[in-house]
Structure 1
Amino acid sequence: MTGNALLPGWWNNEENKWLEDKEMISTSTGNLVWVIIVWLRYCELTGDETYLEAALNLGQWIFEHTYDTRGDGGYTGGYLGWANDPPEKLYWKSTEHNIDIYVAFMKLFELTGDSIWKNRALHAKGFVEAMWDSIGGHFWTGTLVDGVTENKDVLPADVNTWGFMALQGYKEAVAWVEDNCKVDPCPKGCGFKGFDFNDDRDGVWFEGTAHMVIAFQILSENLKAGEFLAELRRAQNEANNANGRGIVAACHDGVTTGFDWVYNNRLHIGATAWYIFAEKGYNPYWGTGMLPSDANGDGSINVQDVICIINVILDTGTASGSPDCNDDGNVNVQDVICVINKILGG
């Protein structure tokens, strides 16, 4: 089947016309990278490399159009504009986007063996690590348009949970979200508890609540994971505008983000997808479940996990599972010793 894809949008009854959102048809670096991650996961699961060339082409486009050398390096935000207008390059840099790029490019390296992708991945990782605020115990959202100045105006939850999932460290970031973004109960009287997008705690953001469930699962904090997973299950059936299948974005309309957009009480693909991941105990960055010490994500703990952790320490590979064996928030030689002890029954 061939033809033109319809642009995303919605019918406005009051204006009696079809409306479109510029953001939906623009080119966000982070959104493109998630497509690469999905394609490569398909390759890993099936051995079918149908989408590998597309992933390589898209990765090359991201490198050529968003690679940045200002400040701490990294990659810029993409392009903004309507289909028929010249696109506006976005010069700010997002920590979240660079987390995604690190994972996607490391996966390209692992699937192709081409070290150029590893170097490009580490360029993104270096930016992410530079955005870590060791005093506050959280990641900054990224930079302003100068590519150097840290954006300290907004403190999102997701950059912290995603940084933890992707970089296999930074346990403090999860604690920061728990301490600063937890909503219990919703101030609007919605009857739900969970986590907000940012630290103003004006409502429950269900996608971010699923992020925290997965983070708790990785940390083996099972009581907390179960508590908030139960809230997501309840939201599927009881939240306003729920349909018993999908998950709404927020427990009420107008949950703020600190940026120029809000989350409303509408069914949401992102919230639903992350709820499924939470139900499965699945880290979508590395495509694995949450067996502690199973660094390579193959469902067992053995010498291959020792090798995997050593590769993570040396930056010669990544972990598809949980390499932080001793649960101290870092991946180092102590985790190698920890896994060896588990293998030997110690």
Structure 2
Amino acid sequence: MTSPTTGRTSPHPTRRALLGAGAALGASVPLIAARTLPAAAADQGSAHADRSARAALHFLQQVTDAYATKGPRLAQSYDDSRLGDIGFVYDNALTCMALLAAGDRARARAVGDALLLVQDRDPTGDGRLRQAYHVATFAKPGTAPVPGNEYGFTGTAVGDMAWTGLALAQLAHATGHAPYRRGLLRIARWIVDRARSTSGLGGFTFGETAGLEGHKSTEHNIDLYALFRLVARVTGEPSWLEHAEHARAFVRAVWNAEDGFFWTGSDDGATINKAAHQRPLDVQTWSWLSIGEQRHAGCLDWARTTLATTDTPLRTNSSLRGSYAVSGVGFSSGTLSTDVTVRVGGQEWNPKPDDGAVWFEGTAQLALALHRRNAPDDRARARILLEEIRSGQDRLGATQTFHQKRVTGGVVAASSPLDTGFGFDYSQDLHVGATSWYLFAAMRSNPFRF
């Protein structure tokens, strides 16, 4: 999940710049169109669950329309206080797929068209997208989309490209619109041409982000397994499946069989990064949603137990107040072992973290993965996690704005300042990425699959 630090001048401000260093979306997917009831909410017999899912969808719609209501447009990733009008392509790919899964095809296509636009107008002309763009530039006719240059968001990471490709694949599958297929193929070819590796651990390298070109991310290779399989489906060309298998071989190579989880990746492309504070949640959840190999199913148990956390108002640096407490999971092992006396990444603009903060985006990912695994008690555990997210949706971020407009129904990134263990933080800011993952989980919709 791409996420900025609180600071506005960090040279390496996002997770995607650091992780290596350290039709519809499927027959089982319930839609939330204007008047339909999400099956997940119906199964729970909960009117609150239904209202909550509708509110999350409405939040994504409001943010998508915050700067313009017509034409191609991106969603601002966080509320106004964090990074202003910056929209990360990862967050927008999620928003696009969540809107599409929920039945709002018009807005999904508006975001997808904006992703095609920034791809087409990149000065390299080679099919890449940058990490993030200024959303406001889309509201000005004749103005070229502007990357987040002042924040250093100009690199191109394979993970961001893969998620954009997943969104375009879903749009191509649902609409049959040829430009989505062309944009998807440009992304897939860019990744193969520039990031495929046959040395060290194999797999695919990080991309073209300064200082990280040779790194390899487990998360990215998980993304690519799903992407290339969808490319093969959309194009009818089975040769893409070989690239999917190449990515999966890397993921298998970084499996920790002794402890039952996946390592985060490799700093040099050949040696596994086994840093104690960099054992992340999402490579566990995404591995199940993307690849789903039964022999690795225990990684979800490692995630739900080892990274479990509860944030209360009495914790050091907690942002919670009164009698409200919330449970879920942290971002990584680094979240739970952070030094609460030191600012995240050692940067003066970052907050001091709470080592019990809940990462709502990851909590939603875990809920979805558990539900789809469906081992004994998995669905009960998933329901509990979703209720915890809904409690945060009801209580946190209520006064925050996007483009000076108050929006409702969103999910904040974290319950309190959260040290990821990778040199950046999440905070109690409304986030389209966290809200999209919650909506996926509420609808039981897997963005890695048709």
2:230 match: 107
Whether 1:40 aligns to 2:169 is yes
**Which secondary structure does the structure 1 equivalent of 2:206 belong to?**
strand
SS of the equivalent of 1:155 reads: coil
Match of 2:367 in 1: 213
Alignment of 1:142-181 (within 5 A): 142-144=265-267, 146-153=268-275, 154-169=278-293, 170-181=296-307
- Of 414, 427, 444, the residue aligned with 1:250 is 414
Measure how far apart 1:168 and its partner are: 1.4
Contact 1:71 1:147 in 2 (8 A): yes
Structure 2: gaps of 5 or more residues: 1-140, 337-354, 401-406
State the 1:2 CA deviation: 4.1
Structure 1 segments unaligned to the other structure (5+ residues): 10-19, 82-87, 288-346
* Separation in structure 2 between the aligned mates of residue 219 and residue 80 of structure 1, nearest angstrom: 35
- How many equivalent pairs are there? 268
CA distance, structure 1, for counterparts of residue 291 and residue 370 of structure 2: 15
**Conserved? CA contact 1:197–1:208, under 8 Å:** yes
Where 1:65 maps in the other structure, the secondary structure is: helix
SS of 1:193's equivalent in the other structure is strand
More strand by share: 1
**Corresponding residue for residue 222 of structure 1:** 379
Give CA-to-partner distance per residue, 1:213-254, whole Å, 9 cap, x none.
Answer: 10121123221111111111111120255653221111012x
Structure with larger RCO (C-alpha < 8 A, sep 6+): 2
- Structure 2 partner of 1:260: 423
SS in 2 for 1:31: helix
Quick one: structure 1 residues 238 and 89, their matched pair in 2 at CA, closer, same or farther if it must change by over 3 Å? closer
Aligned to 2:146: 6
- Give CA-to-partner distance per residue, 1:142-189, whole Å, 9 cap, x none: 011x21110111100000000011111221010000111011345455
CA distance in 1, matches of 2:209, 2:379: 41
**Which residue type is aligned with residue 330 of structure 2?**
D
Cα distance, 1:7 vs structure 2: 2.8
Length-normalised TM-score, structure 1: 0.74
**Contact 1:237/1:244, CA 8 A, preserved across alignment:** no
CA contact (8 A) 2:397 2:430 kept: no
Alignment of 1:27-66 (within 5 A): 27-66=156-195
C-alpha RMSD of the superposition: 1.7
Q: Measure the CA separation in 2 of the matches of 1:122 and 1:147.
A: 18
Task: State whether structure 2 residue 445 is matched by structure 1 residue 274.
Answer: no
CA contact 1:141–1:151 (8 Å) conserved in 2: yes
Q: Is the 8 A contact 1:240 1:251 kept in 2?
A: no
Indicate whether 1:118 and 2:241 are aligned: yes
| Whole-angstrom distance in 2 between the partners of 1:115 and 1:283 | 22
SS at match of 1:76: coil
Cα deviation 1:113-168 (Å, max 9, x = unaligned):
32331111111111011111111100000011x21110111100000000011111
SS of 1:194's partner is: strand
- Alpha-carbon shift at residue 268 of structure 1 (Å): 1.3
In the alignment, is the contact (CA less than 8 A) between 2:222 and 2:286 conserved in 1?
Answer: yes
Whole-angstrom distance in 2 between the partners of 1:159 and 1:136: 15
TM-score of the pair, normalised by structure 2? 0.57
Determine helix, strand or coil for the equivalent of 2:239. helix
Once residues 177 and 122 of structure 1 are traced to their aligned partners in structure 2, the CA distance between those partners, rounded to angstroms, is 25
Q: What percent of counterpart residues are identical?
A: 32
